[in-house]
Every structure is written in C-alpha cells, then in structure tokens.
Amino acid sequence: MQRTKLVAGNWKMNLLQSTGSALVEAFLQKVELRQDVDVVVCPPFTLLGRLRDELRRSHVHLGAQDVFWAEDGAFTGNISARMLADLGVSHCIVGHSETRGRFGKLDTSETTLPYFGETNETISLKIQALFYQSIEPILCVGETLAERKAGQTESVIAAQLEGALSGFDAAELFFFIVAYEPVWAIGTGETCPADEAERVCSFIREWFKNKFNDPDLPEQIRILYGGSVKAANAKELFNKPNIDGGLVGGASLDATEFATIVASA
C-alpha cells in the first residue's frame, strides 16, 4: 500500500510572532508543496493562532507540540484538545522525549518532576482526548543511549507502544502517526543510520501487526523517523520502505533546510 509521506517540523520553544511569521513566509516561498506529501508545522502554543491565518491558503497543516487530556477546568497553564481544535490544529505531538520524565532530560528536582514527566498513562489519555477532537496524534517512541547499549531498543519501544495504545481498538488508530525518535539522536547532530532506522520502524509496524487483528492497520499507519534529520540525510531515510517521513526539530527552523527536507520526501 502506498502511504502518503509526511514531514512535520517541531519548532520546540523557539520563535516569536515576527520571527515565526517570517520563517513561515520564507518556507512557503521556497517549498514546492505536492499532494503526495503532507507537511505539518508545530509552533509553540503562542503562535498557533497567528500561523493558522498564515497557513490557511497553503496545504500546510497546523500541529501542536503537546496537549492536556481534560476538556476544560482547573488545570492552570494547560491547553486542551478542544482548544487546539478551536485554533484549527489538525496534528499534535505526544510523548516527545523532552516531555517524558523518565528520560531525565529535564534538570528538575524529584518533587517537581511529576508535573513535567509524561507517563504512558498520561500519553494514552492525551491520545484519547485528541481522537475526540479529530486531531491526529504523532506519538514519539524511542530508546536512550543506555537502553540501546543494553540491547533494550525493541523492548523499550514495545513497552511504550503497549502503554500508550493498549486501550484502543484498531478502528480508532487509522488516523495515527508514530515517530521513532531515538533519544540519543535528538538535537545531537548524530542521526541514526538509515538502515538501522528502517529496521526499528519495521519492528514498530510489526508490533501493530501482532497487536491488532486488522491486516489493513499496519499498512496504513505512518511511521516517521526523527533525530537530527537534515537536508543532507533526509532522502536516504525517506527512501526506506518503512519510513514514511520525518519529525524534524532543529532543521525546521531554517526555511531552506526544511523546504529541501520536504522535497526529499
């Protein structure tokens, strides 16, 4: 089955109104948008409203970087899926290694960690909330360097998938994206070799085959690679049969780089 490639840019906590708009404008001038490649831009929450207006006439989708699972209420500082839908958001990252507390990437004390640390349970609640608003989740999974060295790559990823998705039926997951993001490759400049990224993405597809009794689901689900994707390595990665595109951090902040990555898909 031919899956539509997808390239998503994760701006993380970068850019202001003026610089965000300038980046989008430069990107739209450089990129050649095609029907066979979906493009998603995930700015910080503060820029969603402005970018919605700027992207309206393009085919670029608007994505968010995180969500809170409750619909509304006393959850100071949080943003619900309903609020994202109200802003025209169509995709949302969940379980990024920078929000999963278990990786200890955040320099916070034990007492504050639970407020930042995403768990498989909260990820599952977020996915449910996104589905309810017809927002397509981009679930990040991936191992740390220590886990890779210990030969635990597959078991870590299987546990992340199981923890986030065990409550769902196959029918609910047809509009769902997984991003394989080895933690050691994120923001480090050290890309996972394309053959190894393909091997792990194929393992993820196989996981869906074994878990859900629906032969169409694993063929339909899009699996992205993320971790120091750049113009120079995107083509090799995206040419692999089980890699359906990329989740791009740093390189999505450069209009020329990101446009070239999109063209590689």
Interface contacts to ligand PEP, rule CB under 6 A: 10, 181, 186-187, 226-229, 247-251
Helix orientation angle between 48-55 and 17-30, rounded to the nearest 10 degrees: 30
Is 118 a catalytic site residue? no
By beta carbon distance, the residue nearest ligand PEP is 249
Pick between residue 98 and residue 147 the one whose CB is nearest to ligand PEP: 98
Smallest distance, ligand PEP to C-beta of residue 35, A: 25
Phi, psi of 154 (to 5 degrees): -65, -40
Q: Are 230 and 257 a contacting pair, CB within 8 Å?
A: yes
What are residue 91's DSSP bridge partners?
Answer: 63, 136
Pick between residue 127 and residue 229 the one whose CB is nearest to ligand PEP: 229
Report H helices in the chain. Answer: 17-30, 48-55, 81-86, 113-116, 120-132, 145-149, 153-165, 194-211, 216-220, 231-238, 255-264
Is 136 a catalytic site residue? no
- Reduced to 3 states, what is the DSSP secondary structure of residue 204? helix
Q: How far apart are CA 186 and CA 139, in angstroms?
A: 15
Smallest distance, ligand PEP to C-beta of residue 107, A: 18
Pick between residue 82 and residue 235 the one whose CB is nearest to ligand PEP: 235
Smallest distance, ligand PEP to C-beta of residue 248, A: 5
Q: Which of 118, 181, 198, 257 is catalytic?
A: 181
Pick between residue 142 and residue 218 the one whose CB is nearest to ligand PEP: 142
Q: How many residues are listed for the chain in this entry?
A: 265
Q: How far apart are CA 73 and CA 134, in angstroms?
A: 21
Q: Which of 96, 98, 136, 147 is catalytic?
A: 96
Residues marked as catalytic:
96, 181
